[in-house]
C-alpha cells in the first residue's frame, strides 16, 4: 500500500491554492468542479507524482470546528519535511508567508510554523543529522 492522498481543510480554496503554490512552491495537480463541489489538489514540486494534498473546503460544521480547534491550540494541520529549513523559511517570508514560530531547535529536529492564511498552521521540519 501507498499513501497517495491526504487532505487539509481550508476556508477559501482560491487563497489556499495561492499559498500552497505561490508561497510554499507546490504544484497544482487537479482542479475541477461538479456543481458546488471543487476537487483541488497540490503536490510537492520535488515529487510531483508523489502524495497529493487535497485542499478541501471546510463547509461541514465538523470540519470547521476541527480546523478552528487545531489552529487555536497552535497544532499544525500538516507537516512538511525539508533539508534546508532556514533557506525555505527565508524564501517563504519573501513570498509573504507569516511565521508564528521561527526556526527553533526541538528534539532531533528544527521546526518552524507558518500560517497558511486559510485557517491552518503548517509546520516545516528539518531532521537533525547525526
Query: For residue range 30-44, what is the model confidence (pLDDT) as tens digits?
Result: 999 999 999 999 999
CATH code for the domain in which residue 101 is found: 3.10.180.10
Cβ within 8 Å of residue 100, ≥6 positions away: 74, 113, 114, 115, 121
Domain extent, residue 116, equals 5-127
Q: What is the pLDDT of residue 130?
A: 61
Q: What is the pLDDT of residue 129?
A: 79
Distances (CA, A) of 60 to 63, 67, 127: 5, 11, 35
pLDDT mean over 92-101: 97
Strands of the 109-115 sheet, one edge to the other: 78-81, 121-127, 109-115, 98-106
Q: In the predicted model, what is the mean pLDDT of the chain?
A: 96
Give residue for cell 463547509: 59
Q: How many domains does the chain have?
A: 1
Query: For residue range 76-95, what is the model confidence (pLDDT) as tens digits?
Result: 999 999 999 999 999 999 99
Amino acid at each position: 500500500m501507498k499513501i497517495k492522498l491526504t487532505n487539509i481543510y481550508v476556508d477559501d480554496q482560491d487563497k489556499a491554492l495561492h499559498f500552497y503554490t505561490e508561497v510554499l512552491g507546490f504544484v497544482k495537480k487537479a482542479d475541477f468542479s461538479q456543481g458546488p463541489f471543487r476537487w483541488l489538489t497540490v503536490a510537492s514540486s520535488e515529487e510531483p507524482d508523489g502524495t497529493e494534498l487535497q485542499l478541501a473546503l471546510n463547509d461541514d460544521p465538523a470540519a470547521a470546528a476541527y480546523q478552528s480547534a487545531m489552529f487555536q491550540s497552535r497544532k499544525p494541520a500538516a507537516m512538511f519535511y525539508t533539508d534546508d529549513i532556514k533557506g525555505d523559511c527565508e524564501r517563504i517570508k519573501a513570498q509573504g508567508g507569516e511565521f508564528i514560530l521561527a526556526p527553533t531547535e526541538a528534539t532531533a529536529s528544527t521546526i518552524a510554523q507558518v500560517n497558511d492564511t486559510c485557517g491552518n498552521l503548517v509546520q516545516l521540519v528539518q531532521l537533525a543529522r547525526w
